[in-house]
Amino acid sequence: MATITLNIPDETQKEMKKHSEIKWNEIARKAIIKRIEDLKTLDLLLEKSSLKKEDAEEIAHVIKDRVWKMHKGKMGTI
């Protein structure tokens, strides 16, 4: 098994020390494994996709626009 070293902010380390009962290395390991699994799934989806970059950008624009309009409507005029 490989070993990695993580750099974290001092404030984060102080908070982690308050909870020494937690196996922080296990938390990090599980997060990394989960991210790898998500990336593998995404790679499989993209491998079979005929969607082009321009298509994805257009879809993203439409989604962002609709989300903005939805939030704007709930919050009133900004």
- Residue 37 within any structural domain of the chain: yes
Flag whether pLDDT at 78 surpasses 60: no
pLDDT band at 24 (very low <50, low <70, confident <90, very high): very high
- Residue 18 within any structural domain of the chain: no
Count how many domains the chain has: 1
More confident residue, 50 or 64: 64
What whole-number distance in Å separates Cα of residue 76 and Cα of residue 78? 6
- Domain interval for residue 45: 23-75
Flag whether pLDDT at 59 surpasses 50: yes
- Tell me how many degrees the CA angle 40-56-62 measures, rounded to the nearest 5: 130
pLDDT tens, position by position, 1-18: 899 999 999 999 999 999
What whole-number distance in Å separates Cα of residue 65 and Cα of residue 25? 40
Contacts with 28 (C-beta within 8 Å, 6 or more apart), sequence order: 6
**Predicted TM-score of the model (pTM):** 0.60
